[in-house]
Amino acid sequence: MGVLARAPIDLLRSAFDGSRQRHAARRFVGPEVGLLQLCAKAPVTGTPFHLGEATMTRCIVEIDGRRGYAVVLGRDPERAELAAFFDALLQDPQSHALLALELLQPAEDAIMARRCRKAEEAQKTAAHFFTATRQGSAP
């Protein structure tokens, strides 16, 4: 579900347009926009604390008795519905192998490329600190 939630929307749209089962999909819940409570742990003690809240969109789609679930960060009903649609299709053994090859692998590649691009951008703006020592002083 995580790959589908982070997949590029253009990839999801094109796969949906090419799907023969799109007419069989029925919205079961949503898409609905809501809030998600974010919790974190303190680094030293591990004590959990309330970090804040984030907007999320969820959707449940049913295809031939199989329910697909999706929860995506942000307000994105289209992405949530498409991710739920493909989650339901992935539960079908006949379509799983094809979707894994044609949708999940390209989505994982796109997600990794986006992560690398962001890491490179962050590295360009990194500040490098150094310590200058006075001549003649002991380290």
What tens-digit pLDDT sequence spans the chain (139 residues)?
A: 788 888 888 888 888 887 776 677 888 888 999 999 999 999 889 999 999 999 999 999 998 889 999 999 999 999 999 999 989 888 888 888 878 888 888 888 888 998 899 888 888 888 877 777 777 665 5
Count of C-beta atoms within a 10 Å radius of residue 107? 20
DSSP assignment letter at 64? T
DSSP assignment letter at 20? S
Q: How confident is the model at residue 28, as a pLDDT?
A: 87
pTM to 2 decimal places = 0.75
Q: How confident is the model at residue 69, as a pLDDT?
A: 94
C-alpha pair distances (Å), 23 with each of 12, 53, 63, 79, 131: 16, 36, 9, 18, 65
Phi, psi of 44, deg, nearest 5: -85, -50
